[in-house]
Amino acid sequence: MSAVTTPATAAAPFDEAKMNAFVGKMVGEVGATLTGALVVIGDRLGLYRALAQYGPLTSDELAGKTETHERYVREWLANQAASGYLEYDPSTQKFTLPPEHQPVLADESSPVLLCGLYQIAQTLFADEPAITQAFKSGRGYGWHEHDARLFPATERFFRPGYNAHLVPEWIPALDGVEAKLRAGASVADVGCGLGTSTIVMAQAFPSSRFVGYDYHAESIAAARRAAEKAGVGDRVRFEVASAQSFPGGPYDFIACFDCVHDMGDPVGAATHMREALAPDGTFMMVEPFANDKLEDNLNPVGRVFYAASTILCTPASLSQEPGVGLGAQAGEARMRAIFTEAGFTRFRRATETPFNLVFEARP
């Protein structure tokens, strides 16, 4: 009997055209990666904002508007035009930030402002050596261990979405919560970070009282400063505490924004939050958008979240006992199972955006 060559042992045909296409893709990827640093520079120096404000400008004109050096600005503009971020008119030698690009790069009030995401990406490279070692050892890497630039960058990325969606869309999607907040409720924001979500709610619902909890002391200190600056320090306080042990209650409303998947013991945290809720209280959880199956997340949004999850979210969970390691693409089914195990009797998807899933749970 002759031997049969199986697919496992047969040499796969080499498709040179496929290789060349992949080389082209990777050149584009490297270009995007290197350009990311220039996006941070353009944001920090106000180059995008000047282009949005004044319209088409030459390198001399942009340098003059922003008090920067023309030779640097000229090279920056060339990269941005080559990237397709700006448009270039050879006849006038002027560069334009198209109106459609301005919400992404130059408008602080825009829900699609992405400059903060580039700032986050900057810190991932700084933390790469430590995460490479964690790949070998299996140890976690806590949120507090990351490059300190990560914390304001994360706040910058999430702030536009919270400003755009939290009060007008997410809270109204919950059953009866908006009315409670307007009448006056006791609210806990668990895993509050720099306090932006807490402050947004406090500004919208002056009759309610809010407390934000986070285990990261430096973030809590920054949140306290932000509350005073926003003029809500009289009814908002921030305390250092973990999701499994924060004090107080019963709370009418408890919220977690983009942090449950980072927790080492999400069932323990959810159990504690259920116990801290009033009998008729509501828990809201905002999580990164994710489908339940891996193959359904193989898209641009999933790509971003899996990258962040590899360096930020999964290591954060693995640094805490028992280290469940949900990751940023946990999906609805896994979250439902966690909150059911924690004793919640009702769990539903209240609403969503292209970047977020918003869940409501009741005791």
Residue 133 lies in a domain: yes
The domain total for the chain is: 2
Same domain, 192 and 226: yes
What is the reported pLDDT for 137?
Answer: 97
Residue 5 lies in a domain: no
What count of other Cβ atoms lies within 10 Å of the Cβ of residue 300?
A: 8
Q: Give the H/E segment covering residue 223.
A: helix 217-230
Same domain, 163 and 69: no
- Find the CATH number of the domain harbouring 47: 1.10.10.10
Same domain, 132 and 256: yes
The tokens for 300 are: 């641009």
Residue 226's closest CA among 151, 285, 288? 151
Report the alpha-carbon distance of residue 23 to residue 16 in Å, rounded: 10
Sole residue written with tokens 């200190």: 221
CB 192 within 8 A of CB 222: no
Same domain, 188 and 255: yes
What is the reported pLDDT for 8?
Answer: 54
Sole residue written with tokens 């359904």: 296
Listed residues 61, 83, 105: the one ending a domain: 105
Same domain, 61 and 205: no
What is the reported pLDDT for 142?
Answer: 97
What is the reported pLDDT for 2?
Answer: 44
What is the reported pLDDT for 4?
Answer: 45
> Across the 363 residues of the chain, what is the mean pLDDT of every consecutive 10-residue run?
50 92 96 97 98 98 98 98 98 98 96 96 96 97 96 95 96 98 98 98 98 98 98 97 96 98 98 98 98 97 97 97 96 98 98 96 97
Q: What is the largest CA-CA distance in the chain?
A: 87
What is the reported pLDDT for 9?
Answer: 55
Domain encompassing residue 98: 17-105
CB 268 within 8 A of CB 276: no
Report the alpha-carbon distance of residue 277 to residue 250 in Å, rounded: 5
Residue 236's closest CA among 205, 213, 197, 202? 202
What is the reported pLDDT for 11?
Answer: 76
| pTM of the entire predicted model | 0.92
Report the alpha-carbon distance of residue 273 to residue 285 in Å, rounded: 11
Report the alpha-carbon distance of residue 219 to residue 225 in Å, rounded: 10
CA quadruple 315, 319, 325, 329: dihedral positive or negative?
negative
Report the alpha-carbon distance of residue 137 to residue 242 in Å, rounded: 26
